Amino acid sequence: MAECILETEKMLVYQAQLGDWDNLNHLLVCKKSKKAVIIDPFFAEYWKKICISNGWSLEQVWLTHSHWDHSKGVDGLQDRQVWVHQDESKRGWNGPSNRIWSNSPFTSIIQSIGELEFEAHCTPGHTPGHMTFIGEGVVVSGDCMFLGRCGRTDLFGGDVFAQRKSLVHLRERLLNLPSDWIVLPGHQYQLSDGSNPTFITVGQLLSDNEALNALDDDEAWASLEFLAFDDSMAEKARRERARAQQG
């Protein structure tokens, strides 16, 4: 069930954990204009009903990346602006989407909804065109950066070297943010202290995130166990890479 996890003078933030993969969906609402954006929707009708019942206009969809579990709800939202980075085509994404970001890796552009403004950072590594959104008191990090670690890099289109550069890029930006801003990831994973939150502060993330803490040490980075897994998804990625090389 969607929960309002943050209210500021300008914005409401709703979070819901949806679908078989327990994705964290985030709805950002501009209080003055009543315009809203849904990030990584799993169920289109779910978010439509919430917006209709509150008198909000759901105008945009932002995809942090195009993996199925983050883009499934796009099918019912094609009459809105559906934004994705153009580099997601490198892993086979061909829609449905109707707006593209084209900023270079490790750079940002401004993306607005109503009177809210966010930096839309291209942070590849988990996928070629992964995006991270920063502004208005929140960091929406998708699968690039979880609360205690980072996303895997062994799926089709993933790149462990790009992931490290993306995290260096994000760390530099986060160090200049207020420490009480909150970080909103794409999935919930237990932290090393045994807690299992769905958001934490920037200050806590910078202190405790295992991937960020390993960035400056090659040996520590190489020893991170969550960058790659020996599972069915890794095997599927190997087959996809082989087909792409043959084609």
Q: What is each CA distance from 110 to 66, 103, 120, in whole angstroms? A: 20, 10, 6
Which pLDDT score, from 0 to 100, does residue 247 have? 67
Token pair for 146: 């979880």
**pLDDT of res. 238:** 86
Query: pLDDT tens-digit profile of 21-39?
Result: 899 999 999 999 999 999 9
| Interatomic CA distance for residues 77 and 94, integer angstroms | 16
Domain range summary for the chain, segments of one domain joined by +: 3-246
Q: What is the DSSP letter of 49?
A: H
Query: Rounded to whole angstroms, how far apart are CA atoms 116 and 35?
Result: 9
pLDDT in tens, 185-219: 999 999 999 999 999 999 999 999 999 999 999 99
Both tokens of 94, joined, read 């061909």
180 against 1, higher pLDDT: 180
Return the residue matching tokens 């009459």.
Answer: 79
In eight-state DSSP terms, residue 227 is: S
pTM of the model as a whole: 0.97
Exposed, middle or buried by CB within 10 Å (0-12, 13-18, 19+), for 153? buried
CATH 1.10.260.40: does it fit domain 3-246? no
Rounded Cα–Cα distance for residues 67 and 93 (Å): 9
pLDDT at residue 242 greater than cutoff 90? no
pLDDT digits (tens, 9 = 90+) for 66-108: 999 999 999 999 999 999 999 999 999 999 999 999 999 999 9
Please state, in angstroms and rounded to a whole number, the distance separating the CA atoms of residues 61 and 16: 15
Instruction: Summarize the confidence of residues 167-192 as an average pLDDT.
Output: 98
